[in-house]
Chain A
Amino acid sequence: MEKTHHSHYLEYRTLFSIFLLLLMFTGITVGVSYIDLGVFNVWISLLIASVKGSLVLLFFMHMKYEGRALIFSFLGTIFFLFIMISFTFWDVSFR
């Protein structure tokens, strides 16, 4: 049976830093929306959103401190979501 994991307590300073980072990225998202980068606008927005989502998962949801099984499960889920979305869009782009 797998070892049980102990709870992790993050310092308020770390949590607040992450919070500030998230606010900063939100500002960047808003700022980038005013610059016309053509098709790259969407990709940059998605990239920033992914970074923000990762920060929330890693620190606020403690994924950084979990065992391999949970991290692997989580990455597997993301992988499948990626496949499902990309394969569908890929059909549309070749029609």
Chain B
Amino acid sequence: MEAVPSFFETHSPSRYKGVWSWLLTMDHKRIGIMYLFSILFWFLLAVLLGGMIRLELMFIGQTFMSAEVYNSVFTLHGVIMIFLFIIPALPAIFGNFFLPIQIGTDDVFFPKLNLLSWYLYMAGGLIAIVSLFSEGFPDTGWTFYVPFSISTRTNVSTAVFAAFVLGMASMLTGLNFITTIHRMRHRDMGWMQIPLFTWSLYATSWVQLLATPVVSITLLLVIIERYFNVGLFDPAKGGDPILYQHLFWMYSHPAVYIMILPGMGVISEIIPVFARKSIFGYKAIVASSMAIAIAGSLVWAHHMYTSGMSDTAVFVFSLLTFVVAIPSAIKVFSWVSTLYKGSILMTPPLFLALCFIYLFSVGGLTGLVLGAAGTDIHVHDTHFVVSHFHFTMFGGTGFAFFAALHYWWPKMFGRMYDFKKAYIGAILLTGGFMFHYVPMFILGLQGMPRRYFDYLPQYEKGNFFAGFGAAFMIIGVFLMIINLWLSLKNQRDVSSDPWGGTTLEWQTPSPPALYNFITEPVVPDYPYDFSGVVERYSKDDKGE
């Protein structure tokens, strides 16, 4: 199996060589790799911007940047992290690479559309860069709230247009994935044989397809308001500023499920493999993915309790928010139950997945504090919200991203990385994370607002600790990425199935061939049956 040329050595279309074989490729794996490097660039840039924010806040008063620059830095950090990293990261990189393989096919349904999505992503990123160097950095925060986004003199229109273009890339990827899952599954693969990562991408794709057009139109309305002053959000002209918030959160709350659902899919893949045990509650996890996608689309206004929205709406949206906690909890309990009495093999991906479960649980539970209208009024727009958001999005999706990177790296590149460095990086990241965000919960409860350049003396200690933790986090992130990069230079080839996985990607060579499978894949009756794997490893242990 290992002798077959990999997709790195075989071009598609074959007439293109060198850099053109990448820039004009139709191969879903190459497109996934291109996404990997472009997304990593933006991620590391946004990490450094985040570090600058925390460094500025470590000490009271101005530390090393002005208030105006600070406003732009947190806006850039948010816009890049949300639109250029966390929304596309898991679907665009790992979804592109592994979705067709996990369902036993050779590519996505629309390969050219797939490449177009990558170009739209790159175009969106370039437009975002352009927005920085003309008319001043945008300073609205990533939410672009009116009336400030309409009245500020900074270059909001270009930044908003960048988000619009990135939204198109996201929608096209979603459309591609839904069609691929419906039309290109292996003929022996029924719906209840689809791996959970692919199921999570299916649920995510629907949210991408249904919710993204709403924000795209809303962002265009901001541009129209800035240039033509129609008055859509201006009460003096019969408009409604709260309408903007409704339209924005109609997408942007479901968007957090676009971010977290694929992460949950990754964890559902990793946990059973390293517990050597069938996933607990496969059907419940599938149902909870769809339930999160549906219920998560009905709770957007829980971001708006203090906006002046009606009390009736506050009550109903609060109730619906609590409903979303149920499917999320089903997943967490299923993962923990899978680990129970398993033959656990500790590896860096499992370590990161376990960190995910802990951090995401804290993020989810603190979400209930914010979902309940009474407590939300107290902590709204404080550091508590920032901390909750980062616990779910970084502790959740961010850790799932690193877990996925360490889990599938040997399959994508055919190289194994150094475990020790990976563990040190992951421990620094997790320890730094706690130092970084736990003080922010306390600061928020004490009343420190978010997005403020300066603060009262009683908040200094918490901010100092948070900055201290940020330094460890940044070192951890860079160490993990450098470690993975170094693995490309070593000669430690890996087998087709280094972890003992059961889903179809482990039936392909590492890295896979151009059309993925060398021989017809054998679709198991149940995707997480580890009886064969346990038997194989016990034979290895006995030296048979």
Contacts and interface: CB of A to CB of B under 8 A. Distances in A.
A40 interface: no
Interface stretch (A9-17, A18-26, A44-52, A85-93): A85-93
A1 B186 CA distance: 6
Interface in A42-95: 69, 73, 76-77, 80, 83-84, 87-88, 90-95
Interface string B179-213: 00011111101000000000000000010001000
B301 A77 contact: no
B324 interface: no
A25 to B, nearest CB: 26
Nearest to A4: B183
B310 A87 contact: no
B520 interface: no
Interface of B is mostly: helix
A83 B187 CA distance: 36
A80 B297 contact: yes
B243 interface: yes
Given A1-B186, A1-B189, A84 B250 contact: yes
A2 interface: yes
Contacts of A93: 310
A91 B182 contact: no
B214 interface: yes
A1 B184 contact: yes
Contact of A88 (B183, B210, B246, B308): B246
- Which has the most chain A C-beta neighbours within 10 Å: B186, B297, B308, B313? B313
Contacts of A88: 243, 246-247, 250
B240 A92 contact: yes
B267 to A, nearest CB: 26
A95 B186 contact: no
A76 to B, nearest CB: 8
B63 to A, nearest CB: 42
B321 to A, nearest CB: 13
B182 A69 contact: yes
Contact of B185 (A1, A73, A92, A94): A1
Given A69-B182, A80-B210, A87-B301, A1 B187 contact: yes
A7 to B, nearest CB: 16
A1 B180 CA distance: 10
A42 B210 CA distance: 26
Interface size class of A (residues with CB under 8 A): 10 to 19
A94 B310 contact: yes
Interface residues of B, number: 26
Contact of A87 (B183, B186, B298, B308): B298
A95 B310 contact: yes
Contacts of B246: 88, 91
B183 A1 contact: yes
A95 B309 contact: yes
B183 A2 contact: yes
B491 interface: no
B151 interface: no
Given A1-B184, A2-B182, A88-B246, A83 B297 contact: yes
B312 A94 contact: yes
Nearest to A2: B182
Contacts of A95: 308-310
B253 to A, nearest CB: 11
Nearest to B310: A94
Contacts of A87: 298, 301, 313
Contacts of B298: 83, 87
B311 interface: yes
A91 B309 contact: yes
Nearest to A81: B210
Interface in B310-326: 310-313
Given A1-B185, A1-B187, A77 B312 contact: no
A87 B245 CA distance: 13
Contacts of A80: 210, 297
A93 B308 CA distance: 13
Contacts of B206: 76
Nearest to B184: A1
A89 to B, nearest CB: 10
A4 B242 CA distance: 46
Interface string B309-353: 111110000000000000000000000000000000000000000
- Which has the most chain A C-beta neighbours within 10 Å: B184, B189, B210? B210
22 contacts: A1-B184, A1-B187, A1-B189, A2-B182, A4-B183, A76-B210, A77-B210, A80-B210, A80-B297, A84-B214, A84-B250, A87-B298, A87-B313, A88-B243, A88-B246, A88-B247, A90-B312, A91-B246, A91-B312, A91-B313, A94-B312, A94-B313
Interface of A: 1-2, 4, 69, 73, 76-77, 80, 83-84, 87-88, 90-95
Given A1-B185, A91-B309, A91-B312, 7 more contacts: A1-B184, A73-B178, A87-B298, A90-B313, A92-B310, A94-B313, A95-B310
